[in-house]
């Protein structure tokens, strides 16, 4: 039950983009078309899940037992960078269509603060292994939800008459603000 | 991540110009749209904004100097990884320092201090500037960019704190008649304020320059 609640809160209430402000760059950059937004969301969900597993193992089996927790930042960023590289090579071997769908977005994910934020938040909150994995999957899906919704709105927005200085990032941020306002409504759920 | 000036050679710029460009013309937040995540996240109070700005400046200045001084030793294939290690070292120092001397600030900034490591302003400056310029120029450039980032954080956090709580740095500035706009403290307020500020920056730019402004997003 606790896990279900954690999942729902990661997807809707503590949404990575709209509550923690993590991953704003891809959120603004890759949200012009629904197709690419879906691919980006799936790539992030995928990497987040693996990152959650690996950083938990490193944190609990290596860093904490040997009192090395001051190395958290350095080791997490390294794990994420090499994981993304490995995943990219693996997907290219296993499935070419999947690689073509996710391919260009994977390297971008390394510097995506959402992934690093996931590793840090799950270490900060001292999640158990099951919780960390659920948190990873939920956060990834929450990211996908927000970016796909945003892409849908922006496809319509392309046809709208937006004042000149607001075009581009300005109107995107204001739309994100209205979305965040709507998502605040979920906070009464739990 | 590579800004437009990376492609142009710029040995002609004077030291003062190198510094001033970070304040407005290439302001990391308003003009380059870099580092938006920490900008949005910590701007709910002026004190948080200042702490974040100073921590980021520390990391940016020291990593720029280090990268500029060892740029000849770094093989270009693994340069990004090298930059990340250098940045992560200084971020760890900043994080530990805040935890030891300013525990309340460290607590309220939470994961956002360690997240400086993936702040695109810092990595962007190493890739676009420090890896190609002398130590002195990189230092000036880092100082300018840091000032620009702090200014952006100050503007956004002042607006949010004054309208959202009626206070500035914890002191009451609005009269008793003022009802705080809670929404400014919450995420929607952050998004909308920054959106309006970006539009304002573009508007001022188009009025002063009288030419079309290229957008990155």
For every residue of B29-69, DSSP letters joined together read: TTTT--SHHHHHHHTTSHHHHHHHHHHHHHHHHHHHHHHHH
Given a cut of 80, whether residue B34 has pLDDT beyond it is: yes
- Containing B164, the helix (H) or strand (E) segment is helix B135-165
pLDDT of residue A103: 62
- β-strand pairing of B171-172 with B167-168: antiparallel
For residue A78, list chain B residues with Cβ-Cβ distance below 8 A. 84-85
pLDDT tens, position by position, B114-138:
989 888 889 888 888 888 889 999 9
CB contact under 8 A, B37 and A116: no
Inter-chain touch B202–A72, beta carbons under 8 Å? no
- Counting residues of chain B whose pLDDT is more than 70, the rounded percentage is 90
* Distance (Å, whole) CA B216 – CA A118: 27
Low-confidence stretches of chain A (pLDDT < 70) are 102-104, 110-111, 190
Q: What is the ipTM of this complex?
A: 0.85
Q: What secondary structure letter does DSSP report for B130? A: I
Report helix, strand or coil for B167.
Answer: strand
- The domain ranges of chain B are 14-209
Q: Which two tokens stand for residue B74?
A: 């770094």
Record: contact A21-B37, CB cut-off 8 A: yes
Tell me which chain B residue has its CA closest to the CA of residue A112: B118
Domain boundaries, chain A: 16-188
CB within 8 Å of chain B, chain A residues 88-117: 111-113, 116-117
Task: Decide if B143 contacts B19 (C-beta within 8 A).
Answer: yes
pLDDT of residue B1: 42
Nearest to A111 among B111, B123, B196 (CB): B123
pLDDT of amino acid A150: 92
Q: What is the 3-state secondary structure (H, E, C) of chain A?
A: CHHHHHHHHHHHHCCCCCCCCCCHHHHHHCCCCHHHHHHHHHHHHHHHHHHHHHHHHHHHHHHCCCCCHHHHHHHHHHHHHHHHHHHHHHHHHHCHHHHHHHCCHHHHHHCCHHHHHHHHHHHHCCCCHHHHHHHHHHHHHHHHHHHHHHHHHHHHHCCCCCCHHHCCHHHHHHHHHHHHHHHHHHHHCC
Regarding pTM above 0.80, the answer is yes
What pLDDT does B6 receive? 47
């Amino acid at each position: 039950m606790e896990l279900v609640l954690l999942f729902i809160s990661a997807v809707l209430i503590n949404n990575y983009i709209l509550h923690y402000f993590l991953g704003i760059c891809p959120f603004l950059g890759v949200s012009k078309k629904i197709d690419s937004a879906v691919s980006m969301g799936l790539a992030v969900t995928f990497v987040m899940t693996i990152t959650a597993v690996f950083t938990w193992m490193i944190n609990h089996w290596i860093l904490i037992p040997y009192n090395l927790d001051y190395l958290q930042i350095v080791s997490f960023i390294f794990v994420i960078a090499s994981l993304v590289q490995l995943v990219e090579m693996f997907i290219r071997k296993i499935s070419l269509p999947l690689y073509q769908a996710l391919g260009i977005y994977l390297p971008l994910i390394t510097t995506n603060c959402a992934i690093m934020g996931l590793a840090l938040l799950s270490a900060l909150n001292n999640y158990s292994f099951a919780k960390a994995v659920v948190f990873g999957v939920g956060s990834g899906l929450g990211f996908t939800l927000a970016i796909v919704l945003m892409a849908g709105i922006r496809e319509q927005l392309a046809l709208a008459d937006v004042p000149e200085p607001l075009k581009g990032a300005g109107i995107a941020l204001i739309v994100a603000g209205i979305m965040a306002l709507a998502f605040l409504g979920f906070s009464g759920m739990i | 991540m590579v800004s437009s000036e990376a492609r142009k050679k710029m040995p002609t710029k004077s030291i003062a110009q190198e510094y001033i460009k970070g304040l407005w013309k290439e302001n990391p937040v308003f003009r380059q749209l870099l580092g938006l995540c920490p900008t949005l996240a910590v701007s709910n109070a002026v004190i948080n904004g200042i702490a974040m700005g100073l921590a980021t400046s520390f990391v940016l200045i020291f990593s720029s100097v280090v990268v500029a001084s060892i740029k000849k030793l770094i093989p270009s294939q693994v340069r990004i990884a090298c930059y990340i290690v250098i940045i992560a070292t200084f971020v760890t120092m900043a994080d530990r320092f805040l935890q030891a001397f300013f525990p309340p600030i460290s607590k309220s900034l939470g994961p956002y201090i360690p997240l400086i490591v993936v702040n695109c302003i810092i990595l962007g400056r190493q890739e676009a500037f420090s890896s190609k310029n002398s130590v002195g120029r990189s230092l000036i450039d880092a100082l300018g960019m840091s000032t620009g980032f702090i200014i952006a954080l100050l503007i956004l956090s002042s607006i949010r704190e004054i309208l959202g709580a009626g206070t500035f740095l914890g002191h009451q500035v609005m009269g008793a008649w003022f009802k705080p706009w809670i929404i400014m403290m919450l995420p929607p307020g952050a998004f909308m304020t920054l959106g309006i500020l970006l539009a304002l920056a573009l508007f001022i730019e188009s009025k002063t320059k009288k030419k079309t402004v290229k957008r990155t997003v």
